[in-house]
Amino acid sequence: MKTAVKPAAARTLNLVQAVNEALDVAMAGDPRVMILGEDVGRNGGVFRATEGLWKKYGDGRVVDTPLAEIGIMGSAIGLAISGFRPVAEIQFDGFMPSVFDQVVCHLGRIRSRSRGRMSVPLVLRAPHGGLIHAPEHHSESPEAYFCHTPGITVVIPSTPYDAKGLLLAAIESPDPVVFFEPKLLYRSAKGEVPAGRYTVEIGKARVVKEGKDITLLTWGAMTVTCEKAAARLEKEDGASVEILDLRTLSPIDLDAILASVGKTGRCVIAHEAPNSGSWAAELSALIAERGLLRLLAPVARVGGWDIRMPLFRLEQYYIPDADRVVMAARKTLSF
């Protein structure tokens, strides 16, 4: 959609401010948009993602719900079917399993079960990942469960610009979108964000930096880790590193992945979730299926260990850091 309004000046925002601004723009532009969640109203969300919106749009559109995740998810589905554009917030990634029944059995199926007569244009927002010294069940990376579920789009930005543009695109999407927000980056990721409405296309990866020897394929907060690893690999090993931030996990931007890996011939996939059965496994399989003859080394996956997320004293040894990415990249480069 083209607007006659000339683009407003960009300001530096952090990622949670960008999320907040996207919600504000969406609510101002479309009266069907409403926000549901625990503590999203008066308190402005535990991460302040909805700060100020309750005051601006009122209790009827920014709704502090009872503490019931299935209630939030199920009623958001009902609201979406009946013509509203709910943006539901689940307070922490570790509370998302509660909504699985609704997500797996209904969210992605209603369009096809109604033979296209109904759709569920809602957004399910949740913070994602670890490394903020949070309590147990507050540092999880559950994306693979959602990506495995047909009918659902899964998005995770790593910059403020993408956060705002992708969230606006998600809210405007005719189908359900699970929108993960890397909580480590909420305040640490800062960048230029234009005021007003703009969208970033869902389903397109972002080339963070170009390189020719190896591709680091990643998403979420791990994008920043990969940037650190790339800087070291370039300095210490003289390697030319390309980083691809997937941004949309499902559907996968296979063209971008094959273009990059086809060029470099080497790929390390870095993410925070337990490695086995992770979304990295799907990506690795796709690269093997579609790009095997371009590979110069096996695809390496660097993820969390196949154990539960430990309490935060050990989280930095669970979630891959730049050291682990560097180690994996060196093995791949010297294969």
Partner 1 sequence: MPLKTVASIDIKRLEILNVDGTVDKALMPKVPDKLLLEMYRLMFQIRHFDERAILLQRSGRLGTYPMITGQEATQCIPPLALKSSDWVVPTYRGGGVYFARGMQMRYGLLYWAGDDRGTHFPDGNNDMIFSIPVGTHLTQVAGLAWGQKLKGKGGVAVTYCGDGTSSKGDLHEALTFAGQFKLPAIYIIENNGWAISVPRERQSASQTLAQKAWGYGVHGLQVDGNDALAVYAATVEAVARARKGEGPTLIECETYRMGHHTTADDWTRYRGTKEVESWKKKDPIARFKKFLVSRKLWDDKKEKRLTTETRSWIDGEVKAYEEFAAPNPLNMFADQYDKAPSALIEQRAELEELLKFKGGAKVMMSLPPTEGRFP
Task: Indicate whether 81 belongs to the interface with partner 1 (CB under 8 A).
Answer: no
CB of 111 to partner 1, least distance (A): 26
CB of 13 to partner 1, least distance (A): 22
Task: Indicate whether 188 belongs to the interface with partner 1 (CB under 8 A).
Answer: no
Residue type, 335: F
Task: Indicate whether 95 belongs to the interface with partner 1 (CB under 8 A).
Answer: yes
Task: Indicate whether 89 belongs to the interface with partner 1 (CB under 8 A).
Answer: no
Q: Which 3-state string (H, E, C) describes 195-218?
A: CCCCCCCCCCCEEEECCCCEEEEE
**List 31, 135, 150, 277, residue binding partner 1 (CB under 8 A):** 135
The nearer residue to partner 1, 42 or 204, going by C-beta atoms, is 42
**List 56, 105, 311, 335, residue binding partner 1 (CB under 8 A):** 311
The residue behind tokens 């969406």 is 26
Q: Are 300 and 332 in contact (CB under 8 A)?
A: yes
CB of 285 to partner 1, least distance (A): 18
Interface with partner 1 (CB under 8 A), residue total 40
The nearer residue to partner 1, 49 or 200, going by C-beta atoms, is 49
Task: Indicate whether 234 belongs to the interface with partner 1 (CB under 8 A).
Answer: no
Task: Indicate whether 64 belongs to the interface with partner 1 (CB under 8 A).
Answer: yes
Under DSSP, is residue 244 helix (H, G, I), strand (E, B) or coil? strand
- Say how far apart CA 150 and CA 326 lie, in whole Å: 34
| Other C-beta atoms lying within 10 Å of the C-beta of residue 76 | 29
| Other C-beta atoms lying within 10 Å of the C-beta of residue 5 | 8
Task: Indicate whether 145 belongs to the interface with partner 1 (CB under 8 A).
Answer: no
Burial 15-31 (b: 16+ CB within 10 A, else e): bbbbbbbbbbbbbeeee
Contacts of residue 124, Cβ cutoff 8 Å, sequence gap at least 6? 73, 76, 88, 90, 99, 103, 107, 176, 177, 178, 179
Q: Are 131 and 319 in contact (CB under 8 A)?
A: yes
The nearer residue to partner 1, 210 or 323, going by C-beta atoms, is 323
CB of 89 to partner 1, least distance (A): 13
CB of 271 to partner 1, least distance (A): 15
- The separation between CA 231 and the C-alpha centre of its own chain, rounded to angstroms, equals 24
End-to-end CA distance of the chain: 48
Residue 138 annotated as catalytic = yes
Q: Which of 106, 133, 137, 138 is catalytic?
A: 138
- Say how far apart CA 17 and CA 12 lie, in whole Å: 10
Task: Indicate whether 118 belongs to the interface with partner 1 (CB under 8 A).
Answer: no
Q: Which residues are designated catalytic?
A: 138
Interface with partner 1 (CB under 8 A):
38-39, 41-44, 46, 64, 66-71, 94-95, 97-98, 133-138, 276, 305-308, 310-315, 317-318, 323-324, 327
